[in-house]
Amino acid sequence: MSELYDGDGEGVVKVLAAILLLGLAAAADEGVFSAKAVDVWDHYSKPVTVRAPDGSTAVTAEYVLGSKDKHLFLRFRGEGGKTSFDLGRGIGAELLWSPDSKALAVTTSDVSRNGVFNTYVLSLDHGSIQKIDLSPLVRKEFDHPVACAYPEPPNVAAVNWSSPNHLLVAAQILDHSICDSFGTFVLYEVDVPQRAILRQYSQIEAKRVYSSSLGTFLQHARDGCVTSPKKCEVPSNHTTAHGPKRN
């Protein structure tokens, strides 16, 4: 390695730059909510094929221009036949296959890159597809845990499969200054066929247990807002024209 330090250091800079680029390339397809998912939004201009764990089933994601804007179409082959599925605008879409290759979790927004995001599971059964919307279940459980300028639903995002039927799903307060503790989240383990929540993990516990599965949006959530919520209050949510609001 001594040759790296010869001359004026240009060699070191080039090596470090190459390492950085390789690291960015390796992470480029990871989802921002799930490090295990494939981000297809960053490949907006071309179709992206994501193979299932069984090696024979696959889905191709393609953004197709309609009368007003582009929609994300998912085309399955293998056990799911050749069925095509329209998922709307597909902003920030992430795809996450189940370990048995029989279901695809999709996190997607029709609004903006910050949200609101929803999570759907597309269950494959010999040529037919069942769409399961997990967002209402998770939002009902999460409710509205903090003060907001106006009622705003949380992002609902798939994080990882814990088993073929159980999906880890995060409910995240949108990361902007409408609500207290914005950007923080709670993680739920959901039984998909039963539409039931099995377990809940706090943000701190989720980072400890499932750190390798969390994407950057969740990894960077502020833990201080969990341990000291008052430090993350939005002042305007707690004042009125006549002074502080009374809780």
Task: Select, from the ranges 42-56, 60-74, 115-129, 201-215, the one with the highest average predicted confidence (pLDDT).
Answer: 201-215
User: Is the dihedral angle over the CA atoms 92, 23, 162, 170 positive or is it negative?
Assistant: negative
Predicted confidence (pLDDT) at residue 123 exceeds the cutoff of 80: yes
Sheet holding 185-191, edge to edge: 155-161, 166-172, 185-191, 196-201
Strand pairing category for 128-133 and 155-161: unpaired
pLDDT tens for each residue of 15-65 = 344 333 334 333 448 999 999 999 999 877 789 999 999 999 999 999 998
**Mean pLDDT over each residue of the chain, to the nearest integer:** 86
Q: How far is CA 77 from the centre of its chain?
A: 24
Between 67 and 9, whose confidence is greater?
67
Mean pLDDT, to the nearest integer, of 136-163? 96
Three-state SS across 172-216? Answer: ECCCCCCECCCCCEEEEEEECCCCEEEEEECHHHHHHHCHHHECH
CA distances from 106 to 5, 100, 150 (A): 47, 16, 27
Instruction: Calculate Rg over the CA atoms of the chain.
Output: 21
Instruction: Say if CB 175 and CB 182 are below 8 A apart.
Output: yes
Which residues contact residue 208 at a Cβ distance below 8 angstroms, ignoring those fewer than 6 apart? none
Task: Count the residues in the chain.
Answer: 247
Q: Model-level pTM?
A: 0.84
- Please choose, from the candidates 111, 181, 115, 169, the residue with its C-alpha nearest in 3D space to the C-alpha of residue 140: 169
Residue burial 26-44, b: 16+ Cβ < 10 Å; e: rest? eeeebbbbbbbbbbbbeee
Least trusted range by pLDDT, from 13-22, 96-105, 166-175: 13-22
pLDDT tens for each residue of 170-193 = 999 999 989 999 999 999 999 999
The torsion region of residue 28 among left (phi > 0), alpha (psi -120 to 50) and beta comes to alpha
pLDDT at 76: 92
